[in-house]
Structures are given as C-alpha cells and as structure tokens.
Amino acid sequence: MLNKRKYFINLAILLLLGCTSSGRLASENKDREALKEKTMLSSPDTERKVDSVLALMTIDEKVGQLVQYNGKWDATGSKSSKRYKYKIEKLKKGEVGSMLNIISVTSIRETQRLVMEHSRLKIPLIFGYDVIHGYQTMFPVPLGESASWDLEIIEQSAAIAAKEASASGLNWTFAPMLDISRDARWGRIMEGAGEDTYLSTQIGVARVNGFQGNNLSDINTIAACAKHFAGYGFGEAGRDYNTVQVGEYELHNIILPPFKAAANAGVATFMNAFNDIDGVPATGHKILQRDLLKGKWNWEGFVVSDWGSIGEMQAHGYATDKKHASEIAIKAGSDMDMESYAYEASLKPLVEEGKVSIALIDDAVRRVLRVKFQLGLFDDPYKYCDEKREATEVYSTEHLEIARDVAKKSIVLLKNEKDILPLSKDLKSIAVIGPLADDKDSPLGNWRAQAKYNSAVSLLEGIKAAVSDNITVYYEKGVDLTVPTVTPGENQFLFPLEFNTTDRSGIPKAVEAAKKAEIVLLAIGEDAYQSGEGRSQTDIGFKGLQMELLEAIQKVNKNIVIILMNGRPMDLSRPSELVPSILECWHLGSQSGHAIADVVFGDYNPSGKLPVSFPHNVGQEPLYYNRKNTGRPSSKGNVAFSSYRDAPNTAFYPFGYGLSYTTFTYNNLNLDKTEITVNGSLEVSVDITNSGNVDGEEVVQLYIRDLVGSITRPIKELKGFKKLKLKAGETQTVKFTIDSETLQFYTANKKWEVEPGQFNIFVGGSSETELQDTFVVIK
C-alpha cells in the first residue's frame, strides 16, 4: 500500500518539478535563519512536494484536509452509531485531514490504515491530543511549573511529554497555552504561565522548543500549537468563554508577544479561540489571523479552530448559519475545522458559488500538507506507530525521576515564620491531615492526558517514604473536599464538582491526631478538576469544610504547615493568620508526594517564585503587578484616589515572590551608563549574596518603568531574570543588558519603538523590590 501511495506522490513531484516554490524562505532575519538550521522552516524541496500533491487533489479531497474529527469513539456513541459509521466512511474516502483524541499506537495505526488502504491519494492523517503537562508521566500543571522560572527544566518536561506522546503514535499536541491571565477566577489560568507577558513569552518558547526539538521529523518530537489566538485569558469577570474587551495597545503589548515569539520559534500550528474580542470572534478574526499572523509575521504553519468554534459563531450572533460561519472563518485564516462539521458541508458550495476563492482553500491545504511533510508522515505514515517503543518510553523510571526534579523546583515557600520548615528528620511525630493528604489523584491536575487514575504519589506516601521508622506519622483525612458526582476517574472532565460537603465526623479524629503530633502538615486547597477549562469560580477561598478543619486543628496545635494544592491563586488571607508556614505545591504531577517531602525536610531548598499575584480577596481580581498608575494613584487617608476602602491595591503574595530556607541580599546596583540613545544599550549589574546558612537558589528579576509615554505605561514591567545557585555566604554578580528590545513597546504610532525619556530600573527577588536606579534615553 505504502509503495502505491509513494508512487502517486513521486509521480506528482515529477510532474511538477520546477514549479515555483512559495518563496517563503526569502526573509533574511536571524530568527528565520536559526529556524532553517533547525529545519523548522519549510524547504524549497518540501514546497515542491506540497504543490505536487495539491495539484492532484479534487475539491472534496482539499476540503477533507481541513476537517478534524474527534476520535474518542465512545464519546460520540457506539460503533454502531450513525456518527461513527459516517466518520469511518469519510476517513476511507480521504476526506479527513486530522483526528484528535485517538489514543495508543494500535488505535492510531488502525485509523491511519483506513486512509492508507482505501483513499485515492493516501494523504496521511495527523493525530492531535491535549498533551499539556505530560502524557502519562505527569509534570506540574503549567502554572505550577512556571513557578520554577527554570527554562531548562520546562523545555525538558515538554520534551519528555513529546517523547511519550510520539511513542504512543501521536504527532501533535494542543499546547502550549500562551494566554496571559490576570484573573484567578478563570479556572484555565492553570494551563498557562501566569500574568506576565515577558515570563510567558520565555516559557512559551521553551515549551515549543521542548515539544518540537530541532526537527519535527525526529521520532521523539511532536508539532506544538500556540493557543488560544487571541485574548482568551481576558474573558470578562474571569468567566470562561466570555466576551473580551481589550484595547489595541493592550492587545499588542500584553497579549500578542508570546504568540509572536512562538511563531518566530517555528511553532507548527496555532489554535484560535472561543471568545470574541471587541465584537469580533477570534475564529473569524481576519486582522489577527490572516493579516497579522500569516501576513506581517510571515508564519507558515496552519491554524486549527478551537472545538466547534466555527459553528459557535452562530451563537455569538456573528454568522447566520454554518455556511456563513465557514465563509467568515476561512476568509479570516482559520485553516482546519475542529469538530464543527461546518467546512465539510460548506466550503465546496462556497467555492462553487464564487463566495470563496479556490486560492484560499489551496493556501489552507498547503499549510496542512506542509506540516505533514515536516513530520515525515508522507515518508512513512506509520512512522510513530511502534508498540515496542510505546511500552518502553511511556512512564519510564527515568521520566519519573525528572518529574520529581521538576516538581520540587516548582514549589513556592510562601510563609515560614520562626523557620518552622525545613523539618528535622529527628522529630518524633508528624500528623499528615486533610482531604488532599492521601489523595493520589488530585496532584495529577486537570488536562492530564493519559495519566492513570490515582497514580500520583500522595503527600502521605511521600512523607512516609522520607522518614525513618523512629518517626510516628499519623494520618487523618478530616473532611472530604468534594462529593463525587460521577464514579471517580470517569468523565470527571465533563462533570461539575459538588462542594457541598456536610460530613464533620472526621474532624474530632483529625484534632486528636494534631494533638499527639509535634507538627501538622495540612493538605488543603483544590481538587484536580476544580481548575481547568470551564472551571470559573466567583469564590477563590477554601471550599467545603476545609476552613472549619483548619480552625479546629489550630486550637490544639499551632505548628501547622499548610501544603497547598491548587491550580489557581487562592485567597490565603485567613489561613495565613492561623498558621506559621505555607508551602504552595500546586498540582505537582506523578511525583507530587516525593517532591513535597524533598522540600519539607530540606533535601531541596525551595526556589520557586509566583508567576501570578495572589490577592487579599477575590474582589481585587483581575489583579496584576504591572498595573497602570492611573491619574490618582492610591494614597492613604484620602478618599478620592484609586484605591479600595477595604483592601490594598497590592497583592497578598505578589508576582515574583517566594522564600527560601536561606536569605539573599542585593547590593551594588550599577548601570554602566546613565544615558543611551534609542538604539543604544547599557549594562546593569548587581551583587547577590547568600546571607544565610544553607546553599540555595534565587531568581534575580529585572523590572523597568517607562515614566512617560505616548500611551500610559505600567508601573513596572519584568524585562529579564536569571536563576542562580549560591552557596551559603557566596556572592555573585549578575549582569543584564538593556537595549531597544527591552525598551520598545507598541506606541501611539502603532509601531514597536523606543521612546526617549526617563526610565526607572528595579532589581530584586520579587516584583515588589525597591532597589532601583534611573537612566535616560535620548533620540
């Protein structure tokens, strides 16, 4: 079969040899040169092959390449269902370009075969899946992993996710999510890198590089997808899928840079978004997709719609029917239709009626084919289908070890009065209490791909494994976090959780355990499915009876460390009044319990920093450090200023904040120049000393403030960071370069440029650092 298919392709190539290639390699900029080296840009040879295949295709086959179906057969009905049979027929006719949610080498091979053995042109399918923070070996949820500020391990975890996914036959992940989010109410904040544009850009590129490696056709790599283009993280009031109102400058300065960087890094695909932006649904947004992404940015991959988002333009009140929606979407630059069943029925008639030009269809098909060629699927459609590889690569011991390393580096120490942490291994007794204390499932987090239900190392297991038999470990759950609404492990993605727990019967036992123990580790926070898609909340406190449990325990034992597990910033104001120590442990993945034990006992000195602000209360949301000053910056004592009467403007735990078991001091902030031109550069240096008694790591952060601009500018903006290892007593000098790339922004001229004027510069261990200096930019 394969030979016959190759024959077709080769014939087509021969026929069209000499045809003009797309000429996309003309651009000489250095990003593209680097991409060429990494073979992330299409070559003239690939372009010739793409054109040659395209020339053979009928309109039905072309439209088919733009169709993506869900392959979770059980979700769409049984194998005897009409929909199942319909999809099989379409696959056999070669009228499907991609499938999502098909799991395992066996199923992928079976599905690919339907195309290879029955269709006319035998154009291989590309198989996509949400591999968000691991395939079966789970890493921390992306927000948690971002707290490591460690680009190397972030790239490494994406590379392992790609290795496992590709070993299971997959070619494409719908990640990374590059949506900036400043709103803790939005459950999907767990899937991104937090509130800051610079940090999200760096992390986004690391994730793209991790998934894609240096070569998409490498057996261990998969195509990545920059999503959701654009603005999805800015849904009004933190409500998922809600309308987005952002101005042009906010869009360009805050939301788009991570996407631009991903495009420059050669991300193979983009996904658009469910939301509208200022009245235009992202899926039908021509300015964003066709003019900016494919035009100005000169990006050559393909755009997939979000699930059903083409059809949803009807509900938005932007399209009269699916045909109208298809016309808008294809013109706007949405290349592939994920599960709307709109393109398959509408594109051909739209072309026949002259409403959509065949050139637009060809452009979209060309983009899809290009990625398939780059993945090597035309050379061998079964290239990623190797059961032996699947059996050895997925969930390997080596991957689990790395997952533990990434997890411990993602933990943030938020509070540690009287140095209650790290615990001594000479303690006599510890009580491990709470609804999440022996939960082996929640640490896997939402968007957990093929993680096995209940497969994480629980906190209790981690603590027990770390201590000797001389320490008594008491365990009590105390209260339930949620009342299951479905059989655990089944369909939890789709069903809401019920927090209405009323059972207090475990509290007295928990209090007894707390009384007996020298120290309490209290695991509270959020269930795995409390954050993620469709999990918006108006209350970001502790659901159910968790606070009641904390208050009861605190009456008998003050030595409490809260082990916080969560996917979003939470309101920690009350708990932090009650306990001396809080360890932010997110949903840390497969090795959660071991990683937490590593930090609790000081085998690893915590080094994480918050990628997002934690508020005093939910009423402050959306909350972010790089806010505007306003015309009336807050002032104590006077009412007529931009402030709340019952809470400060600042965060409870700010962006960039995190403690260590040692302390760091910053000295000798020095700028080598105090004046530069718009194209000039200067060097900032600062000495950091580990002024405590143990070795540790510090994330040194650089912020700027542009004091006067052609549009109003934020009070601080992160522009650089470096993570350092410092031995106790050691001093290191860190240097940052400030140049036009650091200082430019999207100005009132609607261009990226540096504006002359005064700038403040801040360096320190959090966004609230006050160590500062100043310099001037002249023309």
Where along the sequence are the contacts to ligand NOJ (CB under 6 A)? 130, 174, 227, 306-307, 533
User: What minimum distance in Å lies between the beta carbon of 130 and ligand NOJ?
Assistant: 5
Nearer to ligand NOJ, 224 or 330 (CB): 224
Closer Cβ to ligand NOJ, 227 or 404, answer by number = 227
Contacts of 216 (CB under 8 A, 6+ apart): 39, 40, 223, 268, 371, 374, 375, 376
Q: Cβ 306 to ligand NOJ, closest distance in Å?
A: 5
- 116 vs 451, beta carbon nearer ligand NOJ: 451
Sheet (strand 225-229) strand order: 225-229, 269-272, 302-304
Q: Is there a catalytic annotation at residue 306?
A: yes
Q: Which helix (H) or strand (E) holds 743?
A: helix 740-743
The residues near 452 (Cβ < 8 Å, ≥ 6 apart) are 136
CB of 127 to ligand NOJ, least distance (A): 13
Contact assessment for residue 479 and residue 507, using Cβ atoms and an 8 Å cutoff? yes
Q: Which of 160, 350, 359, 172 is nearest to 271 (CA)?
A: 172
Nearer to ligand NOJ, 139 or 174 (CB): 174
Q: Measuring CA to CA, which residue among 488, 377, 463 is closest to residue 2? A: 377
Q: How far is CA 104 from the centre of its chain?
A: 24
In whole angstroms, give the CA distance from residue 771 to residue 255. Answer: 28
Closest distance to ligand NOJ from the beta carbon of 175 (Å): 8
What is each CA distance from 770 to 67, 254, 269, 594, 698, in whole angstroms? Answer: 54, 24, 41, 36, 17
Query: In the chain, count of helices (H) and strands (E)?
Result: 23, 26
Gap between the Cα atoms of 92 and 312, Å rounded: 28
Question: Between residues 5 and 227, which has the closer beta carbon with respect to ligand NOJ?
Answer: 227
- If residue 759 lies in a helix (H) or strand (E), which one and from where to where? strand 757-764
Task: Give the nearest distance from C-beta 173 to ligand NOJ in angstroms.
Answer: 9
Comparison of 161 and 676: residue with beta carbon closer to ligand NOJ: 161
Cα gap 363→333, rounded to integer Å: 9
Cα(413)–Cα(25) distance, integer angstroms? 48
Residue (of 668, 659, 672, 656) closest to 768 by Cα position = 656
Q: Are 510 and 476 in contact (CB under 8 A)?
A: yes
Q: Which is nearer to ligand NOJ, 224 or 265 (CB)?
A: 224
The SS3 call for residue 78 is: coil
Residue 422: asked if its preceding bond is cis (omega within 30°), the reply is: yes
Q: Which residue is nearest to ligand NOJ (CB)?
A: 174
What is the separation of C-alpha 617 from the centre of its chain, rounded to a whole number of angstroms?
Answer: 25
Strand ranges for 597-649 from DSSP E:
none
In whole angstroms, how close is the CB of 76 to ligand NOJ at the nearest point? 14
Question: What is the residue type of 706?
Answer: D
Residues 495, 500, 503: CA angle, nearest 5 degrees: 125
Q: Shortest distance, CB of residue 45 to ligand NOJ, whole angstroms?
A: 31
For residues 491-513, b (16+ Cβ closer than 10 Å) or e, as one string? ebeeeebebebeeeebbeebbeb
- The H or E element spanning position 516 is helix 507-516
Q: Which of 130, 306, 386, 527 is catalytic?
A: 306
Residue positions counted in the chain = 779
Q: Which is nearer to ligand NOJ, 240 or 512 (CB)?
A: 240
Cβ atoms < 10 Å from Cβ of 666: 17
Query: Please, which residue, 174 or 229, has the CB nearer to ligand NOJ?
Result: 174
Comparing CA positions, the residue from 588, 643, 635, 638 lying closest to residue 616 is 643
- What is the Cα–Cα distance from 193 to 201, expressed in whole angstroms? 9
Cα separation, 718 vs 143, whole angstroms: 17
Shortest Å distance, C-beta 238 to ligand NOJ? 16
Residue 164 phi/psi, 5-degree rounding, is: -70, -45
Distance CA 363, CA 476 (A): 61
Q: Is the Cβ of residue 227 or residue 323 nearer to ligand NOJ in the bound state?
A: 227
Residue showing tokens 């986004």: 204
**Cα separation, 446 vs 132, whole angstroms:** 9
Residue positions annotated with a catalytic role: 306
